Amino acid sequence: MKNFLIVGHKAVTETFSLNDLPGAAGRMDILCRCINAALFLSHDLRRDVCVFIVLKGEPSSPKIVRFDGSMVRYLSPDERSCASLIKKALEKKAQDFWTESTAGVSVRKGDMEAIIKELEMKITYLREDGEDIRAKIFEGYSNRLFVLGDHLGLTEVEEKMISECEHETISVGPLSLHADHCIVLLHNEMDRGKHI
């Protein structure tokens, strides 16, 4: 499974209105676009991808919502559809273990650290000043945790957490891009790579 983790530093942790994803929901729009970029092909889904969004906004952070590409249903490639599944997940009581809210979507309490511990996989951190993606040969990436920040990037504490694990830092290009665009570029490189 290829796993994507995106940290939403302002994303709310209780139910929210679908009419204001960037504002009142704390840039939930960014996380929805990342989920779509990670999971969707044209008329299909990437069944070998799992997406974790870490919600660190008010009032009861942190929580994690997981979209499992092998199981997910009722998801269409638009932000509102994705947001409505996140909203349903937040209507469930989050506990220290996963609770499924709709097919393939689950919620739990926890921060990035919980996922790092749960997956025990090498981390590929996407960062503007990382190693050039074009210098890489994408072998052995079928079990990997890819980590990206939201509009605020990652905090020093989050970066320290990554640095204490087996990891690499890669860049998809010379400019700072939106996280969902980075996911598309990364997928494309891996799609073209050898033995992934």
Ligand X SMILES: C[S@@+](CC[C@H](N)C(=O)[O-])C[C@H]1O[C@@H](n2cnc3c(N)ncnc32)[C@H](O)[C@@H]1O
Give residues in contact with ligand X (CB under 6 A): 126-128, 130, 148-149, 151-154, 171-173, 175-179, 182
Minimum distance, C-beta of residue 71 to ligand X, in the bound complex (Å): 26
What is the token pair recorded at 48?
A: 């070998």
Nearer to ligand X, 93 or 192 (CB): 192
Minimum distance, C-beta of residue 99 to ligand X, in the bound complex (Å): 28
Q: Rounded distance, CA 31 to CA 43, Å?
A: 21
Nearer to ligand X, 77 or 153 (CB): 153
Q: Rounded distance, CA 1 to CA 176, Å?
A: 27
- Integer angstrom CA distances of residue 151 from 6, 31, 127, 176: 11, 10, 12, 10
Q: Rounded distance, CA 29 to CA 8, Å?
A: 10
Buried b (16+ CB within 10 A) or exposed e, 166-194: ebebbbbeeeebebbebbbbbbebbeeee
User: What SS3 class is residue 127?
Assistant: strand
Strand order in the sheet with 123-132: 99-102, 105-109, 63-68, 49-55, 2-8, 144-148, 123-132, 167-171
Which residue minimizes CB distance to ligand X?
Answer: 149
Minimum distance, C-beta of residue 157 to ligand X, in the bound complex (Å): 14
Nearer to ligand X, 86 or 154 (CB): 154
Minimum distance, C-beta of residue 8 to ligand X, in the bound complex (Å): 11
Nearer to ligand X, 61 or 171 (CB): 171
Nearer to ligand X, 81 or 169 (CB): 169
Minimum distance, C-beta of residue 97 to ligand X, in the bound complex (Å): 28
